Structure 1
Amino acid sequence: MDFSSDEEWTVLDAKNPADSSDDDHGVCSLPSDCSDLDIDVSDHDYTDSDEEISSGADEDDEMADEEDPYEVDEDEPLSAARLSRPLSGMFHHTPWDSVAYAAFDPLRAAASAKRLIPDPAFAVFPENVAILASARGLVCLRGAKSGLYYVANPATFRRVRLPVHQRDHRLDADPAVVITFEDDDASASRKSAATGDIAHYHVVVAFQVDDGVWAVESFSSRTWEWTIGGDICAPETVIATSGVGALGRAFWRTTIGHILCVTPETGCVDLIPAPHEVATRPHWEIGEMEGNFAVACADHEFREVAVLYMVPASATDIQWAWAGQFDGHKAGCHAGMTLLRSQGAAEVVVWDSVPELVIAMDFDGRQTRSIGPLVGGNYYTDFIPYVGSESEIYSEEVGAVFMTVDAVTFRVPQAAVKEEAED
């Protein structure tokens, strides 16, 4: 079979609940078990589809002169405007303790394709795993028996097993885990695919040490070591399924209504009050939008849906900037919806339990695309947002040689390699 053509190949999996919609017509498919096929994915460039998606901006030129009461002031110190890749899909778990992946329908059938992944259940791993976090194309998983952490890029089959952590993260509990990058520029992952450079990341784990008391341990890809944070906090409970990586930090919602913020490079642990807007819009969720840490919130009836960006004026002074708002009822929202975490583009993501759909909407309340319906009840709604990319996971710049044994990549310190050579 010739894979040298310019056709876009998509791997379809029979257990993927999102692979049967009409927009799959004409998509070239491969069997889900393709680990023995020699397919080079390193040359694929997603930026073309991003440009085609953005080309529709001309259609909105007539609206440019209209005053937007919710427009963010360009003079406010927000992150620089970026063209961020939108969500590719959502990972979730099944009642059978396996991982599943559901892909979003494409923005435009002619301009993009549904981005499925070769092994949505991570069946080629040496043990059963649970997926815990995702950021810029990388995912963090934990072994069901060993309790060890893995970082993988599901689009490229690249993965590493992290060294053993120092503290007990409780194998019988769901740890609160976040992947966050040192350089939070959204273009870094694209640069790494093109130039071979690597954006270093942290895997941050919050774990309970006493009733209502939590500590933090984090792993750095730069040092290849785990570090125990010097601070502890008392947030009652950290909501593990709310973890978000942005601005080089890790964030979670807590049951006291504050946001737990961890800066892994310094070990600083803070509890940040949620923006005042959630007092009148009590349904809220955190996320990452275009490099900003974001809070999306809605009232009980989902009539008012708003998004705010965090502006860290200083380590102790946190401000919130208005990003957008729309009428939820005009957008088709209703009280049965649940806000989900966002990642990548500036979108509000919701779960509608009535038609069993995950829906993405822009700040004008227009539905851009959806996932589902996820019929049959063969899923949990612990959705983990995933933005597909070809980000590299490791590099010899870290200061080590990497060896692959049984499809798992390990880091071997340089000193150990030299000792073997001398023997």
Structure 2
Amino acid sequence: PALSFFPASPIAVCSSSNGLLLCYAPSSGDFFVCNPATGAWTTVPRPPRNPGLEPAAVLIFVPGVYNFRSDYTIVVGFMISGTGSGIFGFQTFSSSAGGWWVSNAVCAAECLFPDSGISAGGVAFWRTTMLTVVGYDPAEDSVRVAHWPMNYAVEARWEIGQMGDGGRLFCTAVTEEVVQVHKLLPKSDQWALVASMDLKKRSNTDSEEEEEEAWEVEAGGQLVFRKRPWPMRFQGGELEVLLWVEGRVVGVDLGSKRVRVAAAFGWPTWADGRGAKYVPYISTLAEVPPSAAAALASSIATPSPQVR
């Protein structure tokens, strides 16, 4: 969907949650929340800590019944004590409160991948350069850290996402031989394997007709790719993971192993080896709730945002 209704340009999309997008204008430092399906949007007050040019920002939004108004939360991770410290804190904006607050909770992460951020079960999660997943729960003001599920397979490509009605966090890892999907157990730092799909590259003896296809599913359910795919950030109600396969984003249903093309971009490679510039989006007609401060400003003079 187009974002031409924004007053600022350029706009970077940071995060998506149940039909709403969190966007950021690097030139001004402003955050916006919008619904691209309806064109509705609102400006968010600037956070107390500078989020930088590539903020590690996650939007948490759970729509109410029949998409009636529900409030959203924004969580931004930031490095403490200057560049290179490896210690991260968290600042949170609540649309119901209309302001930001900075948590006392911190964690060692070396570096958060800003474009790996995803919301699951009311928690903001990121991948880190330490092969861990960091989660911050704004409702409980708590941090959890889980090591990735692939142990010493450091060559594995991996990404996190949310799927299913329960809003659980999952991890997709791709090695030379297998695609594995793991689920983070509740209130735990342990993962459970929920799906495993063998991969094998096509041999050079395959026919030209077969070579034209980027993948196929064999009778036994084995996926066959010409090249090793990249896992991508994913979010949705179905049990489906996303993979980058030769210029296309494909969804793989974990139950049926059905493969569908979700989007086609044309370029054959994923330049930096990370699902960095792809944000999964679910189209809904959810309202964009204004912040409490913005709603109050419509009837009286706008007070200063409350920060605690």
CA shift for structure 1 position 333: 3.0
Structure 1 residue 375: deviation in Å? 4.4
| Aligned residue number for residue 318 of structure 1 | 189
* Deviant stretches of 4+, over 6 Å: none
Query: How much is the aligned-residue C-alpha RMSD, in angstroms?
Result: 2.7
Per residue, is there more strand in 1 or in 2?
2
Query: 1: distance between equivalents of 2:294 and 2:119?
Result: 28
Indicate the residue corresponding to 1:89 in structure 2: none
Q: Deviations over 1:131-166 (max 9, x none)?
A: 111111100111232101000000011110011211
Tell me which residue corresponds to 1:176: 56
Unpaired stretches in structure 1, ≥5 consecutive residues? 1-116, 403-410, 419-423
Secondary structure of the structure 2 residue equivalent to 1:386: coil
Report the alpha carbon displacement of residue 322 of structure 1 after superposing the two structures with TM.
2.9
Residue 374 (1) aligns with residue 273 (2): no
What is residue 388 of structure 1 aligned with on the other side? 283
- Which residue of structure 2 aligns with residue 246 of structure 1? 120
**Which residue does the alignment assign to 2:109?**
235
Instruction: Name 1:49's counterpart in structure 2.
Output: none
SS of equivalent to 1:343? strand
2:3 maps to 1:125: no
Mark the CA change 1:275 to 1:169 in structure 2 (over 3 Å): closer, same or farther.
same
Aligned residues: 270
Give the whole-Å Cα distance in 2 for the aligned partners of 1:325 and 1:214: 33
Structure 1 counterpart of 2:79, from 195, 201, 208: 208
Give the Cα–Cα distance (whole angstroms) in 1 for the partners of residues 152 and 121 of structure 2.
22
Distance 1:310 1:215, change over 3 A: same
Are residues 175 and 368 of structure 1, via their aligned partners in 2, closer, same or farther at CA, if it must alter by over 3 Å? Answer: same
Rounded Cα–Cα distance in structure 1 between residues aligned with 2:88 and 2:105: 9
- Report SS of the residue matched to 2:79: strand
Structure 2 residue matching 1:385: 3-state secondary structure: coil
Instruction: Classify 1:376/1:348 alpha carbon distance in 2 versus 1 (closer, same or farther; 3 Å).
Output: closer
Corresponding position of 1:162 = 44
For residues 351 and 208 of structure 1, the distance between their equivalents in structure 2, rounded to whole angstroms, comes to 30
1:73-88 to structure 2, matched below 5 A, reads: none
Provide structure 2 residue ranges, at least 5 long, that are not aligned to the other structure: 201-221, 304-308
Q: 1:351 aligns with which of 244, 251, 254?
A: 244
Report if aligned partners of 1:176, 1:243 keep a CA contact under 8 Å in 2. Answer: yes
Once residues 182 and 162 of structure 2 are traced to their aligned partners in structure 1, the CA distance between those partners, rounded to angstroms, is 11
Kindly state the Cα deviation for residue 417 of structure 1 after the two structures are TM-superposed: 7.5
Aligned counterpart, 2:21: 139
TM-score, normalisation: structure 2? 0.79
Amino acid at match of 1:124: F
1:290-309 counterparts in 2 under 5 A?
290=164, 291-299=167-175, 301=176, 303-309=177-183
CA deviations 1:83-116 (Å, max 9, x no partner) are xxxxxxxxxxxxxxxxxxxxxxxxxxxxxxxxxx
In 1, are the aligned partners of 2:98 and 2:294 still within 8 Å (CA)?
Answer: no
**Residue 110 of structure 1 aligns with which residue?**
none
Q: Which amino acid aligns with 2:135?
A: C
The one of 221, 232, 245 aligned to 1:340: 232
CA–CA separation in structure 2 for the residues paired with 1:141 and 1:401:
18
Asked if 1:412 corresponds to 2:293, the answer is: no
Q: Which amino acid aligns with 2:253?
A: D
Question: CA separation of 1:178/1:399 partners in 2, compared to 1, >3 Å: closer, same or farther?
Answer: closer
**Which one has a larger percent helix, Structure 1 or Structure 2?**
1
1:328 and 1:365 in contact (8 A); partners too: no
Aligned to 1:217: 91
- Give the distance between the partners of 1:417 and 1:216, measured in 2 at CA: 26
Amino acid at match of 1:390: L
State the distance in 1 between where 2:128 and 2:189 align.
17
Describe the shift of the 1:164–1:123 C-alpha distance in structure 2 as closer, same or farther (beyond 3 A).
Answer: same
**What's the secondary structure of 2:108's corresponding residue?**
coil
User: Equivalents in 2 of 1:298, 1:156: separation in Å?
Assistant: 36
Partner of 1:288: 162
Question: TM-score by structure 1 length?
Answer: 0.58
Deviation at 1:199, TM superposition (A): 2.5
Give yes or no for contact 2:95–2:292 (8 Å, CA) kept in 1.
no
Which of 253, 260, 263 is residue 362 of structure 1 equivalent to? 253
Computing the radius of gyration over CA atoms, which structure comes out larger, 1 or 2? 1
- Superposed, 1:47-62 pairs within 5 Å as none
